[in-house]
Amino acid sequence: MGSQFVNTTAFALVLSSASAYAQEPAGQPLWEVGALAFGVSQQAYPGASEQVNRALVVPTFIYRGKYLRAGEGGASIRAVKTPTFEFDVGFAGAFGSGNRDIPARRDMPKLGTLVEFGPRLKWNLGSLGNGSRLRTEFPVRGVFDVSNSFDPRGIAFEPELQYDQRNATGWSYNASVGALAGNRRLNETFYGVAPVYASATRAAYAASSGLIALRLSAGVSRALSPDWRLFIFGRIDDVHAGANKDSPLVQRKTGASLGFGLAYTLKRSANIAYD
């Protein structure tokens, strides 16, 4: 998810790592089309004891317009851009997760395919030299369940401090630390257990608003040629300080997502992107 919501898959994290080279250094093309092949193993949701494994090949499209931006896990309309601050309104999504392989959620409503929409403030903290930079992001987004007629699932807030570096040898690095929080309705989606779904091994639980997880992410990518890029990424989610760490659906306080893949650019614009 450009944004990066609970991510019932790590798809947004995949795109962010794969497009590390697209962090808008001078001279990038206005648009690019291509394909992305990746494999990922991740927690079904923060606090789950099960890993979800996926292997996908998907088309990709990056657009770097003056106002419309697409790529890096989502799309947005940029309203304000200065050397220090940027404000946009965008959306991103996350695939759903079935309950068949998640015993803690068996016979409960599945986690549907989610999309999120809302504003985001970016604050450029400046260059650190050697092609590196530091910035923060503050997205606040409404979450909707595509699998259930876009039923509202709540509001997510995910502040994040990001570091990235790109050097002349083709290597790119990125790392971030952040937090994910939700209102009561969103947290109920992931951690609430209605009385009708309670069992001998799963007590009823009413979720509260607040912190979902603390996050630490990192990735590295390498240009193999002008059109091919290899990338590896990882993320750790920790719910020890989570508002709903006592939910019966929280079975592991710390979990990891790991993956790798190849990105291929089939065609790119001859026009140069906007800053």
How far apart are alpha carbons 4 and 162 in whole angstroms?
Answer: 13
> What is residue 14's predicted lDDT score, i.e. its pLDDT?
56
Contact 180, 141 (CB under 8 A): no
Contact 31, 61 (CB under 8 A): yes
How far apart are alpha carbons 216 and 209 in whole angstroms?
Answer: 22
Main-chain phi, psi angles of 148, to 5 degrees: -135, 55
How far apart are alpha carbons 46 and 263 in whole angstroms?
Answer: 27
Mean confidence (pLDDT) of the chain: 85
> What is residue 100's predicted lDDT score, i.e. its pLDDT?
61
pLDDT tens digits for range 37-50: 989 888 888 999 98
Is it the case that residue 74 has pLDDT exceeding 90?
A: no
> What is residue 43's predicted lDDT score, i.e. its pLDDT?
85
Say which DSSP state 110 is in.
Answer: P
pLDDT tens digits for range 61-70: 888 888 888 8
pLDDT-derived band at 93 (thresholds 50, 70, 90) equals low
Is it the case that residue 11 has pLDDT exceeding 70?
A: no
How far apart are alpha carbons 142 and 195 in whole angstroms?
Answer: 26
How far apart are alpha carbons 199 and 76 in whole angstroms?
Answer: 43
Segment 177-194 mean pLDDT: 96
Which residues lie closer than 8 Å to 266 by C-beta, 6 or more apart? 33, 34, 35, 227
pTM: 0.85
Burial 175-184, CB ≥16 within 10 A → b, else e? ebebbbbbbb
Segment 189-214 mean pLDDT: 96
β-pair partners for 51: 43
- pLDDT: is 141 or 148 the higher one? 141
How far apart are alpha carbons 202 and 222 in whole angstroms?
Answer: 46
